[in-house]
Structure 1
Amino acid sequence: MKRSTHLLIASVLAGCITSCSSGKRIAQHRIVTNPMNLNYRFQPKDESCREAADPVLEYFKGYYYLFASKSGGYWRSEDLADWEYVPCTTIPTLEDYAPTILPIGDTLYFTTSSGKTQIFKNAHPEKDTWEAVDTKLTYRLHDPAFYSDEDGKVYMYWGCSDKEPIMGVEVDPKDGFRALGEAKALIAHHGDKYGWEVPGKNNEEPRQGWNEGPCMLKYEGRYYLQYAAPGTQYRIYGDGIYVGDTPLGPFEYVEDNPFSFKPGGFIGGAGHGHTFRDKYGNYWHVASMIISVRHMFERRLGLFPVAVSSRNGIYAHTVWSDYPFYIPNRKVDFDKTDLSMGWNLLSYRKPVQASSSLAGYEPGNANDEQIETWWAAQTGKKGEWLQVDLETLMLVNSIHVNFADHHFKVFAPHPPVVYQFFIEGSADGKKWMNLFDETENGKDEPHRLFTLDKPVKVRYLRICNAKEMDGCFSLSGFRVFGKGEGAAPSKVTGFRAIRDSEDKRMYRFTWDAQEGATGYVLRWGTQKDKLTHAVTVFDNQYEARYFNRDSEYYFSITAFNENGN
């Protein structure tokens, strides 16, 4: 395809954008979305695919440090928006699953799931200079988690099983993290009572799921022990909470579980995560999100703002987290805002054309809001392209580009996997303007959000490959955000929530299809005035089995389209 340059619009990262939801001016580089745009590493064996999961994130000496399974290193950031990758070779257990880190004084400590517990330390983790600790903790840790209390006492939690409980014990970091006393069983399996703990794509399998990935948070003197269930390969993977008055319990189940949950939208999953505070005192949750197509452990990372209050409990904002939102540079009340930029999805199932495609990987897979499906061109040659027709002129603010790595043969260790391309827009399909030029890109960024300094009014958008590459030029999501100029859908009518008489963990929902609606957001919770959970649905019916057997629920539903909610 001949590249035309009738109008050049530079993507200047130093600019500021006005949020449609809050009216605030937001630094452009702070506008992000999920999955996090990291250089996810291809794995060393099996089918060629990327993975990162089981994350932990802490603020230490002016930087945020992010570790995740199977990543060959870790990341650091000054602002939670831009991340620098630090390759690591001095931790011999780095390739084991489920890392955890702990700042104590001027030193950062690290351990992970392994056959024999080994702990490492580094006073300068910006450098790959980790040293082994003379570890005296003899428990074999699966999915470990450090926790340091305000009184200086340190605890270790662990657990990853469909049978064994989540465990905990106090340890002495001054004596090789030696256990102080016997480990205690803290959280058992209760899939018979809590539907979200049951495995299966829709929590339908007649067995116990995996309780795993603990994390401890203290708030207003109480201890919130988090755990993940029922399995990392499912969109219904989430994190729940038990609460107690001491670090080792006893703990009681929080009725409004799971607090971190994202079964719908472009990418699902919000489990096996870690809750932390940023330098302004805001709470966040970083968690595993799933693709699980080429391998069960094909995963990504998600970052979610977390509301913490004595009245409403703890809950993560997840439903719009795969739309553009911003990372604040101040203290924010997350009980009142989810940080959304207020832009609407313009591209869902709009007409799509492409230069070529493989059978089963048709162009429509690029804008069906499912990261598990993708469009693949027949080749990786320069000039392969994909084009979306928004069907009318619309104001475009940002484009979310998600590459699918189709037919790649990349295995760790490997250099950065770099895509080079450009994105154009047109009002009439004839004259094209260059919106983003990445023909000289040198970064490995498979989930890049591009934001314009000023919105541009276009009808057509296309992305074109500019680099000869092995495999196929492919996209799991070419997602366009902005503002339509039509009417938002009307209030939803005919809503019904029917609880299954045989299994009270299951609800079936139906409602009238609303004219002009793109989809619906179904919300629920155990507090009538605070519905803390939500799922995006693109139909007028929905069935879910992830409710508590003995809890009562309240529901609401909202229709949305490219013009609003």
Structure 2
Amino acid sequence: MLRFLSVLLATTFLLFSSFSSDAQRTYCNPMDIGYRYNFEQLNEQISYRSGADPVIVNHKGEYYLFVTISGGYWHSNDLSHWDFITPDKWPFEDMCAPAALSVRDTLFLFQSTFEQRPILYSVAPEKGKLHFYNRWLPRLPKDIGPWDPALFHDEDTDKWFMYWGSSNVYPIFGAELDPKRRLTYAGPYQSMFWLDPWKHGWERFGPNHADLMKPFVEGAWMTKYNKKYYLQYGAPGTEYNVYATGTYVGKDPLGPWEYAPYNPISYKPGGFMNGAGHGNTFQDNYGNYWNTGTPWIGVNWPMERRLAMFPAGFDADDQMYANTRFGDFPHYLPTKKWQRKDELFTGWMLLSYRKPVTASSVKDTLRAELVTDENPRTYWVARQNRAGEWLTIDLQQPSDVRAVQVNYTDYKNNVYNSDSTVYTQFTLLHSLDGKKWELLTDLSKEKKRDRACAYIELSQPVRTRYIRYEHGYTAGPHLAISDVRVFGKGSGKQPAIPGNFRVIRQKDERNANIRWEKVPGAVGYNIRWGIAPDKLYQTYQIWNDQPSTLELRALNIGVSYSFAIETFNESGISSLSSVISIK
């Protein structure tokens, strides 16, 4: 009897103290995948996990993710849990910016190259089975490519095409491929378009488009919608907060092309995760569109990056968009065809911004409070990388916690291969009083998954005030965490709309000066804009402790715009302000 009671009590404790959910209903950017250690900078002895230039392909109802320099690819059934696959045949060197395409029962794969390289194919990609579709795609002139390639099959005409380009000298190129000759070039390649930063403010280089260096165009991708061709591209540079995706639209796969005045279509210059350029557009099993992108980290090397995916689509006027509003907050995974662009947003707000943090130890000046500043380029480092080191965040009031994201940093790392020693172990605890602790989730036994951006969704809300991270294991000599992000709902009221909202376009029409009055108790603000009052698809997120002014340098010359602003805090989002229209 005593043994039975002991088992019952132990089972009850596990049921009521562990709130993590195996059947995850939500996701949060940056994507929670096993980012591979990147040997791009091996000769400089820089070691870090990274992912860039994502392509997600829906192949026979399952998803495949291809990423720069990863030694393989990922497979998922739900867009949440991704299993890494090491294929039996891989290119002669690892792939940069790969192209992937699903046509009928076959998945095609091709790498960026300036040399002669084959197109690969698979009818069993879930098993890692790859074969040569052709042996060599003919070499193009020096420096032309095809770098950053994209493969496109037009189902209506059964014609094949390739697009490519990654340069601040050359344009995006395109060419038809000949399926009768194993997808070699059917004719001469053609230039599609160049960047025009003198007319398109968002194509200017540098942080907030403030550098005079000539920008880069790269990352081509083609989507066909309603008999129109949307040739997408990344600009102006992957190592900045303003890395974005734009599109040209045409009636033929090789043009002529018309610049979309609503560009960029995917843009996320503010918030925790900056940058949304160079990805792809795909449809899920419910017919919803998604756009992937490459957010910027830039701690160990300017090109250190992560991955993101955003709900996307086309409006009633065939305007293409990707929804990056609250793009690094939790969103629901798709279960049906959505009707509104914001309906996947959970409404779980950030509870941890600038909240007090204590730690078991600190190395040098890499302080604990840096884990709540929403900046992936600042980080806490423990004195030693050993089990038992901890961080405690005080949310300062009881709140309903729904999810936690732990973002690790590769601080002075010496790991150069994602082998069996690379995995992540930790435990999350919570407390109402900072004294009595209960379990939120236990990943202390995990030995298969490495989670540089670990996202933990709770199966039910937990009313609590303190969140504690207890360390188990990470590979490398240091335990370093950039941010522990806590999401849920606070106890207060939704914030007010900012007052005195003003937008003045500069003489240089690419720029606009924006001002507003701060709202007491706000966490931050979303500046929203677009080419019409009902097309406010762009968002620039600003924290409340930043100045209440913004010079927006992302506008297109000759295009009229509409602007509005909203406030958010730990309890919700204000109504949208009145719309201001400018010419």
- Normalised by the size of structure 1, how large is the TM-score? 0.93
Q: Match for residue 514 of structure 1?
A: 519
Matched, 1:557 2:565: yes
Q: Match for residue 24 of structure 1?
A: none
Q: Match for residue 21 of structure 1?
A: none
Q: Match for residue 268 of structure 1?
A: 274
SS in 2 for 1:257: coil
Matched, 1:245 2:251: yes
Deviation at 1:117, TM superposition (A): 3.4
Deviation at 1:549, TM superposition (A): 2.4
SS in 1 for 2:279: strand
Check 1:479–1:180 CA distance in 2 against 1; reply closer, same or farther (3 A cut). same
Matched, 1:492 2:498: yes
Check 1:466–1:142 CA distance in 2 against 1; reply closer, same or farther (3 A cut). closer
Check 1:80–1:174 CA distance in 2 against 1; reply closer, same or farther (3 A cut). farther
Structure 1 segments unaligned to the other structure (5+ residues) = 15-27
Amino acid at match of 2:326: W
SS in 1 for 2:127: coil
Equivalences for 1:63-212 in 2 at 5 Å?
A: 63-88=62-87, 90-93=89-92, 95-114=94-113, 115-132=115-132, 133-139=134-140, 140-150=145-155, 151-212=157-218
Pick which of 339-348 and 406-415 moved more.
Answer: 406-415
SS in 1 for 2:280: strand
Distance in 2 separating the partners of 1:136 and 1:448: 39
Deviation at 1:93, TM superposition (A): 4.1
Distance in 2 separating the partners of 1:334 and 1:118: 42
Check 1:303–1:440 CA distance in 2 against 1; reply closer, same or farther (3 A cut). same
SS in 1 for 2:470: strand
Q: Match for residue 578 of structure 2?
A: none
Check 1:93–1:547 CA distance in 2 against 1; reply closer, same or farther (3 A cut). farther
Amino acid at match of 1:76: H
Deviation at 1:469, TM superposition (A): 5.8
Distance in 2 separating the partners of 1:469 and 1:212: 33
Deviation at 1:7, TM superposition (A): 9.5
Distance in 2 separating the partners of 1:197 and 1:468: 39
Distance in 1 separating the partners of 2:20 and 2:497: 39
Q: Match for residue 20 of structure 1?
A: none
Equivalences for 1:274-313 in 2 at 5 Å?
A: 274-311=280-317, 313=319
CA contact (8 A) 1:58 1:66 kept: yes
Q: Match for residue 418 of structure 1?
A: 423
Deviation at 1:321, TM superposition (A): 1.9
Residue by residue, what CA displacement relative to the aligned partner does 1:169-222 show, whole Å, maximum 9, x if unpaired? 110133121222221111112011111111101111123210111101111101
SS in 1 for 2:202: helix
Q: Match for residue 10 of structure 2?
A: none
CA contact (8 A) 2:20 2:456 kept: no
Distance in 1 separating the partners of 2:138 and 2:284: 30
Q: Match for residue 367 of structure 1?
A: 372
Amino acid at match of 2:73: Y
SS in 2 for 1:29: coil
Distance in 1 separating the partners of 2:391 and 2:253: 53
CA contact (8 A) 1:72 1:94 kept: no
CA contact (8 A) 2:361 2:383 kept: yes
Q: Match for residue 5 of structure 2?
A: none
Matched, 1:386 2:375: no
SS in 2 for 1:300: coil
Distance in 1 separating the partners of 2:320 and 2:485: 30
Distance in 2 separating the partners of 1:257 and 1:509: 19
Matched, 1:40 2:35: yes
CA contact (8 A) 2:249 2:257 kept: yes
Deviation at 1:12, TM superposition (A): 5.0
Matched, 1:404 2:412: no
Residue by residue, what CA displacement relative to the aligned partner does 1:410-439 show, whole Å, maximum 9, x if unpaired? 002533522222111111111111111111
The counterpart of 1:456, out of the listed 453, 456, 462, is: 462
Distance in 2 separating the partners of 1:340 and 1:43: 32
Matched, 1:441 2:446: yes
CA contact (8 A) 2:510 2:557 kept: yes
Matched, 1:236 2:242: yes
Residue by residue, what CA displacement relative to the aligned partner does 1:425-472 show, whole Å, maximum 9, x if unpaired? 111111111111111112211212212222111111110113486422
Check 1:278–1:289 CA distance in 2 against 1; reply closer, same or farther (3 A cut). same
Q: Match for residue 546 of structure 1?
A: 554
Deviation at 1:403, TM superposition (A): 1.6
Distance in 1 separating the partners of 2:425 and 2:102: 39
Residue by residue, what CA displacement relative to the aligned partner does 1:332-371 show, whole Å, maximum 9, x if unpaired? 1244x34011111111001111112223421121111112
Pick which of 278-287 and 131-140 moved more.
Answer: 131-140
Deviation at 1:134, TM superposition (A): 3.0
SS in 2 for 1:299: coil
Amino acid at match of 1:130: L
Q: Match for residue 351 of structure 1?
A: 356
Q: Match for residue 527 of structure 1?
A: 532
Distance in 2 separating the partners of 1:333 and 1:226: 24
Deviation at 1:120, TM superposition (A): 1.2
CA contact (8 A) 2:35 2:50 kept: yes
Distance in 2 separating the partners of 1:309 and 1:482: 30
Residue by residue, what CA displacement relative to the aligned partner does 1:64-121 show, whole Å, maximum 9, x if unpaired? 1110101111001112111111013512245131101122332221111112232111
Distance in 2 separating the partners of 1:158 and 1:470: 37
Residue by residue, what CA displacement relative to the aligned partner does 1:18-57 show, whole Å, maximum 9, x if unpaired? xxxxxxxxxx413111011111011221411111111111
CA contact (8 A) 2:19 2:460 kept: no
Q: Match for residue 7 of structure 2?
A: none
Amino acid at match of 2:64: Y
Distance in 2 separating the partners of 1:470 and 1:163: 40
Q: Match for residue 17 of structure 1?
A: none
Distance in 2 separating the partners of 1:12 and 1:224: 41
Deviation at 1:516, TM superposition (A): 0.8
User: Percent of counterpart pairs with the same letter?
Assistant: 39
Q: Match for residue 11 of structure 1?
A: 19
Q: Match for residue 61 of structure 2?
A: 62
CA contact (8 A) 2:20 2:440 kept: no
CA contact (8 A) 1:136 1:176 kept: no
